[in-house]
Chain A
Amino acid sequence: MKKLSLLKAIIDYIWIITCIPLSIILPFFCIYMFIDSSVLSFVFSNNIIGTKTSILSLQYFSIGVILTIFTALYCFYLFRKTLVYFKNAMPFHTSVIYNFNIIGQLLIAVSLVSIMLLILFVVVLHQEFNFVTNLGIIPYLVLLSLGLFFMILSQVFKMAKHTKQENDLTI
């Protein structure tokens, strides 16, 4: 159980250091980018802003990116919540199965939306996206695989719960 405590500590650290500040900053950023478009340089490189694409389309793209980040944050929150059940020695609780399934579905949605945003940005607008040059398309596929893995994990836990119930009711 030391591994679980270590994982919980790491997740809590990421949650406090990254997720909470992001969930506070992002809504402000979302509003502020319509007031002062120069903040868009945080998401897009400077040579894109104000050259080929209109500021408004960049703002809409930013909203898309922020929404996917929020969804990912919610996934992280659910995972953190699920770890509490593991810590309380309730790994086959209904919430664990439900949370894993939801995390899987949301991660798949995040990866698909991200891929779509990327394609829309690169192919339709013929622009360069910072994300592409920095990370490439592979992280989205990893995210898609991770989403599917969580859904499979949910199914495995469902089967394990059923087996445990049968075992408990064997006299």
Chain B
Amino acid sequence: MAIIVTLDVVLAKRKMKSKDLAKKIGITTANLSILKSGKAKAIRFTTLEAICKALNCQPSDILEYREH
């Protein structure tokens, strides 16, 4: 997919573990893993909002468009 999820980069910058983020935003670690690995087909606005709130970042910080 042309949309790359750079959530792991932001997590590393914030020195936060995936488990903690999953707990904070109320999704399972399995779903967060799907999102991080780029297997997810879509992301809900509510999830995106929760991630941005938890990591204090913008959607553009965790989503990137790369042309193949």
Contact = CB atoms under 8 A, between A and B. Distances in A.
Interface string B32-63: 10110001111110010000000000000000
Interface in B13-33: 27, 31-32
Sort chain A's interface into a size bin.
under 10
Sort chain B's interface into a size bin.
10 to 19
Interface string A133-171: 000000000000000000000000000000001100111
B11 to A, nearest CB: 15
B40 to A, nearest CB: 5
A14 B31 CA distance: 45
B39 A170 contact: no
20 contacts: A165-B41, A166-B41, A166-B42, A169-B34, A169-B39, A169-B40, A169-B41, A170-B40, A170-B42, A170-B43, A170-B44, A171-B31, A171-B32, A171-B34, A171-B35, A171-B40, A171-B42, A171-B43, A171-B44, A171-B47
